[in-house]
């Protein structure tokens, strides 16, 4: 615990009044009693839909609910893609932060169909398109895809197209980030057009005369402007992926295994500065790849001359703002954000007071943050296992307010666990995975009241 020695102002948030979306007390006809969930995501500019993965016995599904409650749709082993193949199992998924021109968000996900893994996109008509699959040879990679992950989807500003971006591996050593452009009125898989955003043949656009290509490329995020924001570096072992994965399960960074720490998960080698050239990068159709932040960037509000050495994967906003967890070479740590129009800025760090807890400052931000339409950040932050919660940045003032913390009761019970990640906030609503005192777990939506709308107290 770190206590701040100075007085500060904070927004006094009222107790949250959440909306119950779905819990392990619920069952679904044809699916059964629900046993558990993934972290949820919110889609639509008006927080139209809450989407989450779920499982029951040996079955899994993606569930789509109205953000005010009530199931709208879902995908399970009875769902069929555009080619007539039945879906089997579900992996990574994403939902658009804005609506398709038909008035609802679109959902992208990883599944297996026709005995191959694929990236899929469901349009409002119900048509499920195959965006890419492991049965497909990609010429730029020199071979067939064998691994597809981390899809993200956005609807273009003019509503004419959908953008799906994802990470892929192919051939013997190729890794890349791809962008699929799909007409809003697409009728078949043949309407999908793939473009390489960055791959292992792409030089990292920062550093000295010693050039290095990307080897580690993860969690790309699509924006309505057609940009793709992603983490990339020269990390990544050239040896066996299985051996590397075993090491990352065994090795620790601080108190966390490397596979579970926000700064090292998905990274194939130790984090570092100039040796690995890590950064958050932005691809644009007309501008190529530019940096959002890199190992050469000075840490905002950090020590003089302090540079970044590690980054989480990014979250993005409708306006293109990108946010991430970052670490500096002198120990500065926090959530930062930046956009094409605005310079990099600190949202919250180790010197930032925690709203509602006199004298405490943030010590951990373990998950990728969410962002609202104006670039405001909503994130999970903690001092320790008891002083933690979801906090929201005011889009006007930057002040923080509390959405929910461990002193908040939900459905009349204390909370044992609060889970909140990226793509989980829109239009004044934050979606969280919560475990209650009686071990019921489920998805709840919480109203977000920003600090400028709340009374303040001087402590």
| Structure confidence by residue, pLDDT tens digits, 79-135 | 999 999 999 999 999 999 999 999 999 999 999 999 999 999 999 999 999 999 999
Specify the pLDDT at position 421: 95
Helix (H) or strand (E) holding 16: none
Specify the pLDDT at position 323: 96
Specify the pLDDT at position 268: 53
The residues with which 52 forms a beta bridge, in sequence order, are: 63
Q: Is residue 186, in this structure, part of any structural domain at all?
A: yes
Specify the pLDDT at position 374: 92
Q: Is residue 411, in this structure, part of any structural domain at all?
A: no
Q: Which one has a higher pLDDT value, 183 or 17?
A: 183
Helix (H, G, I), strand (E, B) or coil at 247: helix
Specify the pLDDT at position 401: 96
Q: How sure is the predictor about 248, in pLDDT bands with cuts at 50, 70 and 90? A: confident
The answer for residues whose C-beta is within 8 angstroms of residue 317's C-beta and 6 or more apart is: 97, 323, 339, 371, 372, 373, 374, 375, 376
pLDDT tens, position by position, 374-432: 999 999 999 999 999 999 999 999 999 999 999 999 999 999 999 999 999 999 999 99
Whole-angstrom distance, CA of residue 374 vs CA of residue 394 = 10
Mean pLDDT of 432-454: 91
Specify the pLDDT at position 14: 43
Place of tokens 């009044």: 17
> For residue 293, which of 236, 230, 208 has the smallest C-alpha distance?
230
Specify the pLDDT at position 354: 97
The answer for residues whose C-beta is within 8 angstroms of residue 18's C-beta and 6 or more apart is: 404, 410, 411, 444, 445, 446, 447
Specify the pLDDT at position 278: 87
Q: Which domain holds residue 131?
A: 34-235+271-352
pLDDT tens, position by position, 274-333: 458 889 999 998 889 999 999 899 999 999 999 998 889 999 999 999 999 999 999 999
Q: What total number of domains does the chain contain?
A: 1
Q: Is residue 110, in this structure, part of any structural domain at all?
A: yes
Q: What percent of the chain has pLDDT over 70?
A: 90
Asked if residue 3 has pLDDT above 50, the reply is no
Place of tokens 């629900």: 34
Provide the 10 A C-beta neighbour count for residue 115: 10
Whole-angstrom distance, CA of residue 156 vs CA of residue 153 = 10
The residues with which 420 forms a beta bridge, in sequence order, are: none
Q: How sure is the predictor about 2, in pLDDT bands with cuts at 50, 70 and 90? A: very low
Specify the pLDDT at position 5: 34
Specify the pLDDT at position 58: 77
Place of tokens 């990307």: 214
Name the pTM for this structure: 0.90
Whole-angstrom distance, CA of residue 82 vs CA of residue 393 = 41
| 61 neighbors 71 (Cβ within 8 angstroms) | no
pLDDT tens, position by position, 324-362: 999 999 999 999 999 888 999 999 999 999 999 999 999
Q: Is residue 96, in this structure, part of any structural domain at all?
A: yes
Specify the pLDDT at position 455: 47
> For residue 73, which of 112, 104, 47, 36 has the smallest C-alpha distance?
104
Specify the pLDDT at position 237: 56
Q: Is residue 62, in this structure, part of any structural domain at all?
A: yes
Q: Is residue 135, in this structure, part of any structural domain at all?
A: yes
CATH code of residue 276: 2.120.10
Specify the pLDDT at position 310: 86
Q: Is residue 67, in this structure, part of any structural domain at all?
A: yes
Q: How sure is the predictor about 267, in pLDDT bands with cuts at 50, 70 and 90? A: low
Whole-angstrom distance, CA of residue 350 vs CA of residue 383 = 9
Q: How sure is the predictor about 245, in pLDDT bands with cuts at 50, 70 and 90? A: confident
pLDDT tens, position by position, 156-212: 999 999 999 999 999 888 999 999 999 999 999 999 999 999 999 999 997 665 678
Specify the pLDDT at position 81: 95
Specify the pLDDT at position 236: 57
Q: Is residue 420, in this structure, part of any structural domain at all?
A: no
């Amino acid at each position: 615990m770190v206590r701040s020695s100075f007085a500060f102002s904070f927004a006094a948030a009222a107790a949250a009044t959440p909306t119950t979306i779905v819990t392990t007390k619920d069952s679904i006809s044809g699916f059964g009693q629900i046993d558990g969930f993934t972290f949820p995501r919110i889609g639509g500019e008006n927080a139209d839909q809450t989407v989450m993965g779920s499982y029951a016995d040996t079955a899994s599904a993606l569930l789509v609910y109205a953000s005010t409650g009530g199931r709208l749709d879902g995908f399970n082993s009875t769902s069929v893609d555009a080619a007539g193949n039945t879906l089997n199992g579900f992996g990574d998924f994403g939902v658009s932060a804005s609506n398709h021109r038909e008035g609802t968000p679109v959902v992208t996900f990883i599944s297996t169909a026709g005995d191959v893994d694929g990236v899929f996109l469901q349009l409002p008509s119900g048509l499920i398109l195959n965006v890419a699959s492991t049965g497909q040879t990609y010429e730029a990679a020199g071979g067939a895809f064998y691994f597809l992950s981390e899809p993200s989807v956005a609807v273009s500003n003019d509503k004419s197209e959908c953008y799906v971006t994802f990470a892929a591996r192919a051939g013997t050593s190729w890794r890349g980030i791809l962008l699929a452009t799909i007409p809003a009125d697409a009728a078949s898989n043949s309407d999908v057009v793939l473009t390489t955003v960055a791959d292992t043949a792409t030089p990292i656009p920062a550093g000295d005369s010693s050039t290095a290509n990307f080897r580690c490329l993860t969690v790309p995020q699509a924006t309505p402007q057609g940009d793709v924001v992603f983490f990339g570096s020269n990390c990544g072992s050239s040896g066996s992926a299985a051996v590397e994965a075993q090491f990352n399960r065994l090795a620790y960074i601080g108190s966390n295994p490397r596979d579970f720490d926000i700064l090292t998960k998905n990274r194939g080698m130790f984090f570092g500065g100039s040796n690995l050239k890590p950064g958050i990068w932005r691809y644009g159709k007309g501008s190529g790849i530019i940096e959002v932040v890199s190992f050469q960037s000075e840490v905002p509000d950090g020590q003089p001359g302090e540079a970044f050495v590690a980054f989480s994967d990014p979250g993005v906003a409708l306006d293109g703002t990108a946010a991430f967890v970052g670490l500096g070479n002198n120990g500065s740590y926090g959530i930062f954000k930046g956009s094409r129009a605005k310079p990099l800025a600190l949202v919250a760090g180790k010197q930032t007071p925690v709203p509602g807890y006199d004298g405490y400052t943030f010590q951990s931000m373990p998950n990728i943050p969410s962002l609202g339409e104006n670039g405001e950040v909503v994130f999970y932050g903690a001092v320790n296992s008891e002083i933690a919660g979801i906090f929201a940045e005011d889009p006007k003032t930057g002040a923080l307010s509390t959405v929910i913390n461990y002193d908040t009761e939900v459905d009349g019970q204390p909370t044992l666990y609060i889970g909140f990640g990226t793509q989980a906030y829109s239009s004044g609503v934050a979606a969280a995975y919560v475990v209650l005192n009686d071990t019921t777990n489920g998805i709840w939506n919480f109203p977000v009241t920003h600090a400028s709308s709340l009374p303040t107290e001087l402590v």
